[in-house]
Structures are given as structure tokens and as C-alpha cells.
Amino acid sequence: MQNMILLPEKGGHMTTQNQIDYERIEKAIHFIRENFKSQPSLDEIAQAVHMSPFHFQRMFSDWAGVSPKKFMQYVSVTYAKSLLKERRTLMDTAYETGLSGTSRLHDLFVNIESMTPGEFKSGGADLKINYSFADSPFGQLIVASTHKGICHLSFEADEATAAEKLAERFPNAAFHQGIDQYQQDALGIFRKDWQQLDQIKLHLLGTPFQLKVWESLLKIPMGQLTTYGDIAQNINKPKAFRAVGTAVGCNPVAFLIPCHRVIQGSGDMGGYMWGTDRKSAIIGWEAAKLTARYA
């Protein structure tokens, strides 16, 4: 019997106020990234997103927890380079000792369970996958889970497109639109302190090399950055930095597996599956939250 795939109707799309607000924030961050060298004023940034300086300052501060000027420091290349310099000692120590702190996702992920070779080759045959849509600080997303854990999380504004991409990843699975406990736990990462969350379990479709890279990403603390070359060193494949970059780019679980914390050795942000402006937004948002936590 052929598996049934339940997807939203073509053109399915839901615009929420959070989505509208994030799109404004994203546009502002794009302007900041393009113009940070000239340190644009609040008035200039507000004008770029067609808002009054007063309303923009308030909306941006509510979203990020810091002023646009402070946030501009977090997303600039100069700040990225400073994070890298600080990280070299801190992260090397963390990788070697496996230390975990309150700002780490690593505590939450006891293990990553890979799909069986049969599931891998068959494109998810015999898997039943639940999926749902939700808002996040970085726009609307789709999250999906099997009976073992989260298998997919992606930022997508259009629900029909998001569901189609999920089906392409698991072409032979049976899909059902609905939220379960795995998804609720995963979505809690955007609104709760990480220490209060239940364990978030992942059930991932990937090669052994990809899984090793994704496990390595989980060890990068919030508010810190690393490079593709350093990831290659940490998985004992120092010459495989290009392959590491490919594996990072194939990460199927946005934000939870923090591939956004990997940037180029020069300090430039580098690419991101869900857009470089969103990557800058997440890096800045995490830095702002970490600063507020220890202020």
C-alpha cells in the first residue's frame, strides 16, 4: 500500500504579526550588515525600514533586548573576529573536557539517534512523520518528528513550500499534520530557559560524517563562534574543512543544531541555508540574550 502524504493546499500561507515584525527586523539587519562600516545612526536605520526612529527603537529593543546600536556591534565583522579570538581558548577547552554550562545546547542532547541504513536508503519508508508550523523570533518555521525525535526544522514563510521540502527529504514516509511532545519540547527553546527544558531528542537522516559534524556543532556555546577549519580539527579531519562546510550546509535542524555559529576564518559571516541576514539576526540575538543574562 502506498504511503499517503498529507500536505497543505498549494499557496498555503499564514502571515502573523510576529512574521511581519521579523521581516522588518531582517530588513534592518540587512541594512546594518551592508553599512556597518559607516556606523549608521538610528534615524538612518529606521528610515531604511520605513519606520519612525521612536517606533523602530522600541520594536527592535523588544525583539533583541538591546538597542539597534548595541546590536550593530554584535553583527559586525569586527565583533565576529573578537568572538573568534575569545573562542579559541574557551572552545578548545570545552571540546576537550566536554564542559557544559547554562548557555549550552549540548546539555539537552544526550545523543543523536541516526536513522537505520534501511531508512536512509529508502527515503524514510515505513516512517510516520508528524509536522506542524509555528512562529519564532526569526520568522515562521516548520518542525517535524518521528516516533524517536525531531527529524526536521526549517525556517519557511510559506507553509506549502515548507511541507513540499519536507516531503522531498523523506519521499517515502507517511506524513500527518499535527504537533506532538517532541515538537513542543523543541519549540520551547525559543521561549524558555534551556535549563528548564525536557531533553530534546533528535532522529536524523545523515551519513556518519554528517552526524559527526552535527554533533560537533552542538558543543559550540551560545554567544560564541567557530570556523569550518576548527570543526574539521575537532573531529580529527583537519584537511576536510570543505567537506565540513558541506555537512554544515546540510544541517536538517535549524537553530537547535547551531550551524549559524560557524563562520569563515576571516570573521565574515559566510553562507546560511536560511539566509545570511537571518544568520546575523540569530548571532546578534544570542549575543544580546547572553549579555543580558550575565549583566
Could you report how far apart the first and last alpha carbons of the chain are, in Å? 59
Distance of CA 93 to the CA centre of its chain: 24
Is 44 strand, coil or helix?
A: helix
- Does the annotation count 259 as an active-site position? yes
**DSSP strands (E only) in 156-217:** 174-177, 202-204
Q: Is 231 exposed, middle or buried (0-12, 13-18, 19+ CB in 10 A)?
A: buried
Nearest Cα to Cα of residue 6 among 149, 132, 143:
132
Q: Is the distance from CB of 220 to CB of 91 less than 8 angstroms?
A: yes
Q: Is the distance from CB of 136 to CB of 154 less than 8 angstroms?
A: no
- Residue 73 amino acid letter: Q
Pick the catalytic residue from 186, 222, 259, 281.
259
**24, 202, 248 from 18: Cα distances, Å:** 10, 27, 28
**7, 39, 144, 156, 252 from 178: Cα distances, Å:** 11, 45, 9, 17, 19
> Known catalytic residues?
259
